[in-house]
Amino acid sequence: MDIQKLFDNDVPAWLTANAATARRVGAKYGFNITGDGGGKWFLDLSSTGPQIERSAGQRADCTITISAADFETLWGNLAAGESLYYSGRLWVSGDEMLALNLRDVLQRIKTAVG
């Protein structure tokens, strides 16, 4: 899986095509994907968005930190997020409830991009 392509190309294309749906989430997210092929991104799903860009220290309501290998597991099965979280392999800082809202958006993106 090419995580950088997903966040740099596929997610922005989905946001452009589904702006109203994305804005309804009403939150800003940080992604910190560690290891080879990872990176940091800022995802704005608030009324000022939607947009995604490489993180430059923007303030997120919820930040998710996960290794690239574990992100691939998560992307393969979004329901695995809970087990990754409870096993200490996925960290959430900020408003943890917003992480649950993100699962629906990720599922929609995954369905659209394959």
Q: Would you place residue 57 in the very low, low, confident or very high pLDDT band (cuts 50, 70, 90)?
A: confident
CATH number at residue 83: 3.30.1050.10
Nearest residue to 101 (alpha-carbon basis) of 71, 69, 64: 64
First to last CA, the chain: 11
pLDDT tens digits, one per residue of 39-56: 999 999 999 999 999 988
Total of domains in the chain: 1
Question: Which domain covers residue 47, as residue numbers?
Answer: 3-113
**pTM given for the model:** 0.92
pLDDT tens digits, one per residue of 65-87: 999 999 999 999 999 999 999 99
pLDDT tens digits, one per residue of 11-41: 999 999 999 999 999 999 999 999 999 999 9
Q: From residue 4, how far is each of 12, 22, 86 by CA, in Å? A: 12, 20, 26
